[in-house]
Structure 1
Amino acid sequence: MRISIKIKFSIFLAALLLLTVFILSLLVLEGIKKNQQVEVEQYFAQQATTANVYFIQTIMAESNKVPQTFLASKGKEFAGQLELISGQSVVLYDQDGTIVNKDRSIITSDSIKKTLAFALNNKTAYLTDKDSLYYMTPLRTGNEQVGVVQFNYSLSKNLAFYNQIKQLFIYIGTGVFLLSFILAYFYFNSFASGIIRLNETVDRIREGHFATDTLARKDEIGELSEGIRVMSEQIMKTMRDKDQEREKLTLAVHKLSRLDKQQKEFIGNVTHEFKTPLTSIKAYIDLLEMYPDDEKLMETAKINIQSETRRLYEMVEKVLQLAALEKYDFEFSKEKVDVQQAIQLVLSSLKGKLDKFGIRLETDLTEAYVEADKDCMTIVLVNLMDNAIKYNKARGHIFVKNDLKDGQVIIEIADTGIGIPGEVVHKIFEPFYTVDRNRSRENGGAGLGLSLAKKYAETQGGSIALVSTDRAGTVFRISFPAYEPTKTRK
């Protein structure tokens, strides 16, 4: 999800101001807290010195100058005088940690006990508990500790002052934050608005709308806006020139491509279709030269040569008609075609070629009819059968069968030929593509057989597919819609 630059600016500005106010407040409040702590420590350090001096002076004035005995007998009075001098509540302990001047039940806190144990070890310690501070300092005569003096100090005034300053920072910080944010927002908003307008301009250019405005700014954003405007105008001019040239070039290429395609298709189709009957005629002539005394072969050859000659003559007539009409596609005449008979006629015309290469033919034909142009049907079958012979192995095998299934007449032609490599299977129906170029030249192939077969099959509503191919051979499947008398009468 895209976030607007205005929102990003606002969030960043708010975060920056909040961080600044927070850090400033934190530093000031922490300074106040440390200052209060230092003042309290200095104050009680002076009170501890005063207590020790007063203790020594009091003992020196007494006839009994033993500190332990003095604390036991007059410790309560000494603590009272010390409270008057310091102005603080005082608790006096002897060296055993026993309270001298107050009820012993006041020591209820484990924290106070731990702090007292620390102070009895001739060290100064203090404990802060909520709004009270307990300051404990050793009571000494010379270098000998005789007890502990505890000053009880209320921190309520310090806490009240700290909280007052804290509250003041909250109010002032909030006001400064809001004022700074508003002023900075309007300042940065002008930059954000300029960037957003530039982005909208770029989006319009991306969509093909090249008319742009210039921002009235005298900074880098204004210069960028002017640069985008100039660039947009140059792109618009370049695209107009490019479109004009492309239209001219497209028109020229289209004309040349159409002429070239028509010429190639015309020449390729004619050449390929002329070659097939000529090949059959040549095969029978070769057989007659090999077996001149075979009367049965002579009769078969005569019939098939006449048939192929007639077919060749008809094709020449069509070519001449197409040339005269400047037309490159055959006009189709659909009729009811007996598939079984059409297959047998094609196989009969190719028998000489089959015998020449010693290829064994097997068929499994059933009665079926399709509605198609008979010549187109013959072209499809001849091309596939011719390939099955051409690319078969010596003394190989061809199996042809047909079937009727789901309203489709299925014809399968399987051979035991050299197969088609897997990496070129997708190219076999392309015009002029041959799998084995050396063998194609040997047999006169131009790579148009499968392309023409596919084209003619599809013009009749059918299809051709490669079912399988490997070293054991190849299987092609032809499918045509079955003949439907009721539909035809309509």
Structure 2
Amino acid sequence: MKSGGQRGASAGRRRRAFKLSIQLKLSAVLALLLLLTVLVMSELVLRGIERNQQQRTEAELARHSRTAEQYVRQNYYSADVPPEDEAFMAQRGQRLALYISTLIGLPTALYDATGREVGNSLQPQGSGAAADTLAYALKGYIAYETSGDSLVYFSPLRVDGRIVGVVRLQYSLKSAQDFLKAIRGLFRTAGVVVFAAGFAIGYLYFHRFASQIGRLRQASQQIRSGRFLREIPVRRRDELGDLGEDIYFMSGAIEAHIERQKQFIGNVSHEFKTPLTSIKAYVDLLDLYRDDPRLAAEAAESIGRETDRLYEMVEKVLRLSAMEKYDFEQHAERIDLKELLAELCGRMRGKAERYGLVLSTDLEAAECWADRESLAHIFINLIDNAIKYNVPQGAVTVSCRMERKEAVVRVTDTGIGIPEEAREKIFEPFYTVSKDRARSYGGTGLGLSLARGLVEKQGGTIAVSDAGAGGGTRFTVRLPAQPKR
């Protein structure tokens, strides 16, 4: 029994077995388009030639019929006493037909006003007349019909405005038909040549096109197998070139994301291991020295501190993961920053006093459009960092004001400061300027990374700079005053 993977592979091989390459498909499409163009063009040209031939034939026969009518009229008036129409046509019809045929070079027949044949340049039995067409001409209309390679043309003969008879001209269409046949044959030959040449040229032209698509496919397979690109697979100044660049940059982004994930997992494992190691060590000591009250108190304090650190770390890791993977629900509303910061500073003032610090505020009226819970998390984190990484008898100042169309909040401390080379890295997960100091104060290296993510979710920015000549650090948060459109 085949497994699902084996069945999938077999199905893939069957699909590949019946697959036509894009090179053949594009070549066939190009050849068919060229052939269609030739066919449409040939049809239009042939119709144009046929219409032109018809117009020329009609014009020529109309001219010949006027010549015949003029000659009949001249003979009619040449008699001393104009005879009756039927008598005139009966007496002179044969002679008139022969002369007109000689004059215009076409087989000619004459009919009187009753439709009776009175003259024919051919033998009397040589050509019959179509009764319906003749009757139409006797009513004063020009009429003609085709039969095989001949056209029979009927035109009324008028004398003094009355119809005295009909002239019939027989016109050969053989040369015109042979010409059309020859042109049609040329177009058929041209169609075959164009199809073959178009397919060959298209196949050669699309060979490079198809090979570059193959290179893009190989690049995608290489990325899928975990081998990332080191150069752009296709360089062209068209959509394929854009796709090649996109695949290259996508490869770099995937590689960087995987590296970040590896680093993140490594950092999580390391940071989790440190407090767990401490907890385990005290548990082991307590197991050995159960009756030592001093050790029990020290162990309880240390285990509690490390447990709080673990809890904080887990909470921040989960929040960071949720923020990266999901667009978690937020409730944006208009926030009075002066009121919110005054409340948060009141909650943090007790902690500042325990550290021997002064927490002061410089709050002006300022509003922004954001999620209240996210803002509280951002500013508590910044204020908490300003307290933890300060110096004895130091100070923390929180200010807010409106600048143009933004609300600006600044958290300034008089602490140890952040080296300039580390200012871009402090927003990365688990990065801390001083590992020892971070452990001493329970820092996880996740707070600023989470704060930046939350600020950006609100459509704002966060930046770090020196606090001034006296040292310390200033974090500046800018938030939009109006909701994003």
TM interval, shorter chain, is: 0.3 to 0.5
The TM-score, its normalising length taken from structure 2, stands at 0.47
